[in-house]
Structures are given as C-alpha cells and as structure tokens.
Amino acid sequence: MRTLDYGTLAFWAFAATAVVPAFLVLVTRDVVRMAFWLLFSFAGFAGLYFLLGADFLALTQVMVYIGGILILILFGVMLTRRRDGGDSGIARDGAPRGSGLVVQGVTAAGLLGLLAAAVHTRTPWAVREAGEPAYTAAGLGDLLLTDFILPFEVASVVLLVALVGAAYIVRREPEEGE
C-alpha cells in the first residue's frame, strides 16, 4: 500500500473532476447544462496538466477550451432554437432493416472491448524521473519552430480552412439586387 501523498490525492481529485462531469455531459438532456458540466471536465484536465508539470499547456487548455470554445458553444446554443427537423431523405437505406444496426452494434462493442483491454493491460510506459517543475513555454516555442515546424505551419492552414468554411456556411445570401 502506497502512502497517500498530496500529489496522488491531487491526481485523483483532478481525475474525478475530469471524468465525472464528462459522464454527466453524456446523461444530461439540457444542452446548456451539458456545457456547464463540460466546463468542469475541461478544468479537471487542466489540473492534470498542471500536475504533470505542463503549466503552459494547462493554461492554454483553460484559455482555449474554457475561455474560447465552450463559450462559443454556449453562445451558439443560446441563439439557436430547437426546430423539428424533417427527414432529409438521405438516410433511407434500402438494405434490410436492422442489418446496419447489427454491424454498428458489433463495431461499438468491439471498440469498447478494445478500450477496456487497453485500460486493463499493463502498459509498459517509458517512464522518466520527474525533475524540478520547469518553465515549459520556452522549450515548447523552441520545438514548434524547429522539430515540429511543419505541423505547426499546417495547423495554420487547418485554421484557414475552418475559417473560410465557417464564413462561407454562415454567410447570408445577398438579397436580390444588392
């Protein structure tokens, strides 16, 4: 039995904060409440990053996910109204009813089984001794401009595509004669 030190305690606290609200997101029906729980889940992950000595990553997680993405989700939810969707007709499959369901069920079960196996199997982690918590932003910057410069640049292209696409999709058609 290991002694329960602060680090372990903090780990379990953050892990619970990350996982329990995530589960609540799944079972909640109200979208705004989902966002509320998601908030805590994100915060839990940020805490885990802190615990791992990744201070910059942790704050970025909070800033980007909580400060940006989640608030945009909320914004969208609050401004949209649930409308009864009709049937677009594209999912009308000719195959015998239920056959798709069986395949999907088997796939989902298989994936879950894989995940469970992954959790259960003892993973031979490449363990490194934890040093003094260091200031990581400078090292990250160095890596992004040397070893990982190509993915870093590609990330900007990804953002460009997302931006162009989002701008196109939400743009209102100009009125006649405009």
177 forms part of the interface with another protein (CB under 8 A): no
Cα–Cα distance, 148 to 156 (Å, whole number): 13
Least distance to another protein from the beta carbon of 75, Å?
A: 5
CA–CA distance from 60 to each of 22, 42, 72, 126, 143 (Å)?
Answer: 20, 11, 16, 25, 17
Which of 150, 175, 176, 177 is the binder for another protein (CB under 8 A)?
A: 150
DSSP symbol at 16: H
- The footprint of another protein on residues 27-66 (CB under 8 A) is 30, 32-33, 36, 39, 55-56, 59-60, 62-63, 66
8 forms part of the interface with another protein (CB under 8 A): no
Element (H, E) at 59: helix 55-61
7 forms part of the interface with another protein (CB under 8 A): no
11 forms part of the interface with another protein (CB under 8 A): no
107 forms part of the interface with another protein (CB under 8 A): yes
Burial class (CB in 10 A: 0-12, 13-18, 19+), 144: middle
Which of 93, 132, 175, 176 is the binder for another protein (CB under 8 A)?
A: 93
Cα–Cα distance, 140 to 155 (Å, whole number): 15
Least distance to another protein from the beta carbon of 1, Å?
A: 25
23 forms part of the interface with another protein (CB under 8 A): no
